[in-house]
Amino acid sequence: MIERLKAYLRELTGGGIALAYSGGVDSTLLLAVLAGLKREKPFAAVALTMQTLLQDCQEMSEAEKQAVAFDIKREVFAFDPFALEEVRYNRIDRCYHCKKAIFTQFAAYAQANGLKYLLDGTNADDLNVYRPGRKALSELGVVSPLAELGIGKAEIRKMSAELGLPTASKLAAPCLATRFEYDTLLDDEAVRRVAAGEALIKEMFPGIENIRLRVHGTLARLELPQDRITPAAAAASKIVSGLQKLGFDYVTLDLEGFRSGSFDRKPKRN
């Protein structure tokens, strides 16, 4: 599969490539393969990263280190997502408007610098879940090699491990707006509170994976892996105290455990 990916990307190198690069599993695999091809035969390639309040700061730092390690030029852009009403009010199509604004900047950079192809890390699994941002990518002519080749997350992790990439087992880090119910007013303070709350839980439970602090007004609903629910219940007073200091009035532990995109799923009724 990795040879298919190399062959696909090799066909694009002649026109120059701009890669939307977040530092996550998918875009890092593309970056690594492009770096390998660049060593075989030099071509114009730039990694484009967008920095916003909705992304984890540590994620941005790791992305920078990896781009440097691969000797790929990196350009960092800034964007205030709350300048968009659809993002500020967390509309259900928030992702479309946010992606459109971000990739419009990326596309303008690519065009201004003579880079014919703008790539992103959308994979085949993303085509089967709610991803309104894909419409924006399509409108802007963004190329998604992993999706076009039918490569899903499991295969991406396998290839990443074969290449010795540190992201092979890295967890997904979706934008922090996903922690809030749709049609909820977002602001800097609310987003920072969520980030601080999740950091607090990770500090309490070293090695914990897949934590989400979902916000319902002044209530914090914690989604944790099933094997962490009992230990978390035992530490309830400490968790409640920590989150209340951050500004939450109530704290609840979700007994269904962690599930990706839970605000996109309707609860089951018996």
Tokens of 11: 């066909």
Considering the domain boundaries, does residue 174 fall inside one? no
CB contact set of 29 (below 8 Å; sequence gap of 6+)? 5, 121, 146, 156, 159, 160, 163, 165, 167
Q: Which has the higher per-residue pLDDT, 18 or 268?
A: 18
Asked if 215 and 190 count as a contact pair (C-beta separation under 8 A), the reply is yes
Considering the domain boundaries, does residue 178 fall inside one? no
Q: Are residues 122 and 30 in the same domain?
A: yes
The distance between the two most distant Cα atoms of the chain, rounded to a whole number of Å, is 60
Considering the domain boundaries, does residue 233 fall inside one? yes
In the DSSP assignment, the letter for residue 24 is S
**pLDDT tens-place string over residues 65-118:** 777 788 889 999 999 999 999 999 999 999 999 999 999 999 999 999 999 999
pTM: 0.88
DSSP SS3 for 20: strand
Q: Are residues 39 and 145 in the same domain?
A: yes
Is the pLDDT score of 157 beyond 60?
yes
Considering the domain boundaries, does residue 27 fall inside one? yes
**From CA 213, how far away is CA 193, in angstroms rounded?**
10
For residue 265, what pLDDT band results from cuts at 50, 70 and 90? low
What percentage of the chain exceeds 90 in pLDDT? 76
Q: Are residues 126 and 255 in the same domain?
A: no
Q: Are residues 9 and 77 in the same domain?
A: yes
Q: Are residues 77 and 31 in the same domain?
A: yes
CATH number at 91 reads 3.40.50.620
Q: Are residues 119 and 85 in the same domain?
A: yes
**From CA 11, how far away is CA 159, in angstroms rounded?**
20
Considering the domain boundaries, does residue 170 fall inside one? no
Considering the domain boundaries, does residue 179 fall inside one? no
Q: Are residues 79 and 191 in the same domain?
A: no
Domain residue limits at 52: 2-162
Q: Are residues 16 and 113 in the same domain?
A: yes
Considering the domain boundaries, does residue 73 fall inside one? yes
Q: Are residues 109 and 196 in the same domain?
A: no
Number of separate domains in the chain:
2
Is the pLDDT score of 223 beyond 60?
yes
Tokens of 106: 């990326």
